[in-house]
Chain A
């Protein structure tokens, strides 16, 4: 697991690290989905959803992608356990999300916010971002 929950007074602050920008999105998605529902019934049928996102920059693409997944999760009552990117650039992506249906969620995430969000590559070459979820 390459994300950790940090202190925030009212909401959830998540710090995510990964070896690549693409992997950063996958890990952040795992952080969102684990917050929504920690244990998913793996015997329920697998579902595939498509997501298309275009944004101004890397940080916005990450946040917009997570909010896309969040909206799909809430509308269809499912959580996503895998993602395959069929197109990927710094400002646009196409993704196939693999998930399973749930009867309810452990927690509500109203949205992934842009507050403090900035995708950076650190001195070790790893990619990182801190995200605040509105709970």
Chain B
């Protein structure tokens, strides 16, 4: 188990595990955290997982952990690592099973006092309109060329079907699609697993959340994003559903089989990988891009469903729900970064981490009783973290413990007392996602703000939460 003695303090919010800590480390590991938050981080095996990442072939500069780091499988959640495209690897387990799990924020033209009287009706309307839970089908059931067009075109493909506006695309990371997607690299099984899941939220920590902007930190940026105090917003958190899960499973199995051929040995099998330039690496990169496109299409279709629910409640007086931005937080992307004063092409793996290029909006969902944030990518992100920041509050309590110690019905009542309307599929699932199961999102965001990798723009407080 790690202790503070194993870390070298770089600053008040940045810590380093030197390369000498373990003989198989290729680069040092760096961790963004306040001194106080370290105690929580040391409770699980996340730092050990970060050290394992530092051993991967072709890794550049550092294996990096954000302050919302917690134990995952193989690669820690809240982790960032960049690999040389010529000499390095690509690793499906280091992207995760929910490829392009991400967040989209919509802004309304209404303020909280205007929405408050209809809040119960709005929560219920969204719950009825957006299918949630495990095993529930969506309104679109696509096969063959229709599904392939979504895998190729992402959000644009469902907008072309009438589920959104052209303008939506301009406010999405990578404009809602990755051009190197290849549907042929996605197995028939993955397509079957996801074919009826477009426009569905799923379960676990996925949600749709109605919020109000309770504080603006950066007026200029907030104005540029058309955000104002007390404005009602809607946050959508979901990913590529069963299709992405199966793509990850398929390619982790493939990588496991071919690693001996490439002479790759690992401290944890879940980090299974292949050289980026190998056939297996290229095929995974194309299949991952297709899954990412599916996820952007999914959030686009949910946007359509939320707009439908909004119009159902407010009619012609509701105004328009505009997309503020949409970010992926489980993805691998080909990017150019400056390393040792030279521009270099690298594959940046972000697992539970968000791209935060300077002046790019960043969305940080918190827990259902606390807050979420709008940030803006900071100047230091490119130099320090391959243009990345945190992705959320980060869990601190296990799901099992949450189910044992928190009663969903009591939690729902407590949240109601705080003015938060809950529509959830089951009380045990609600208990798993209780605010006390998560770290303090304010403390997480304070660290990345202080580090200069992402700066605070606005704090959103939930007023209605819709979950599977």
Within 8 A of B (CB), among A40-98: 55-56, 59-60, 64, 67, 71, 74-75, 77
Task: Give the B interface residue count (CB, 8 A).
Answer: 46
Asked if B134 contacts A113 (CB within 8 A), the reply is no
Asked if A71 contacts B256 (CB within 8 A), the reply is no
Bound-state CA distance A108–B77 (Å) is: 18
Give the residue of A59, A77, A116, A134 whose beta carbon is less than 8 angstroms from that of B135.
Answer: A77
Task: Kindly specify which of B19-27, B140-148, B241-249 makes contact with the partner chain.
Answer: B241-249
A residues less than 8 Å from B268 (CB atoms): 114-116
Bound-state CA distance A110–B192 (Å) is: 15
**Beyond the given A11-B73, A64-B253, A71-B189, could you list 13 further A-B residue pairs with CB under 8 A, ordered by the A residue number?**
A7-B398, A7-B401, A8-B44, A9-B46, A9-B71, A9-B396, A71-B246, A71-B249, A102-B135, A106-B428, A113-B73, A115-B270, A135-B204
Majority secondary structure, B binding face = mixed
Is there a chain A Cβ closer than 8 Å to B452's Cβ? no
Bound-state CA distance A71–B192 (Å) is: 9
Residue of B at shortest CB range from A118?
Answer: B269
A12 and B399 in contact, given A77-B135, A104-B135, A134-B73 (Cβ under 8 angstroms) = yes
Asked if B97 contacts A111 (CB within 8 A), the reply is yes
Give the residue of B242, B253, B269, B399 whose beta carbon is less than 8 angstroms from that of A115.
Answer: B269
Asked if B248 contacts A111 (CB within 8 A), the reply is yes
Is there a chain B Cβ closer than 8 Å to A120's Cβ? no
Residue interface bits B53-82, CB-to-A below 8 A is 1, else 0: 000000000000000001111100100000
Is there a chain A Cβ closer than 8 Å to B136's Cβ? yes
Interface residues of A toward B: which range?
35 or more
B residues less than 8 Å from A102 (CB atoms): 135
B residues less than 8 Å from A104 (CB atoms): 133-136
Bound-state CA distance A107–B426 (Å) is: 10
- Tell me the number of A-to-B contacts counted with CB atoms below 8 Å: 112
Residue of B at shortest CB range from A76?
Answer: B192
Residue interface bits B252-276, CB-to-A below 8 A is 1, else 0: 1100110000000000111010000
Instruction: Quote the shortest CB–CB distance from A119 to chain B (angstroms).
Output: 12
A residues less than 8 Å from B43 (CB atoms): 9
A134 and B97 in contact, given A10-B71, A105-B134, A113-B270 (Cβ under 8 angstroms) = yes
5 cross-chain pairs, A with B, having the tightest CB-CB distances, nearest first: A115-B73, A105-B134, A114-B269, A115-B270, A104-B135
Asked if B98 contacts A110 (CB within 8 A), the reply is yes
Asked if A9 contacts B134 (CB within 8 A), the reply is no
Within 8 A of B (CB), among A5-48: 5, 7-12, 36
Residue interface bits B389-409, CB-to-A below 8 A is 1, else 0: 000000111111100000000
Asked if A114 contacts B202 (CB within 8 A), the reply is no
Is there a chain A Cβ closer than 8 Å to B203's Cβ? yes
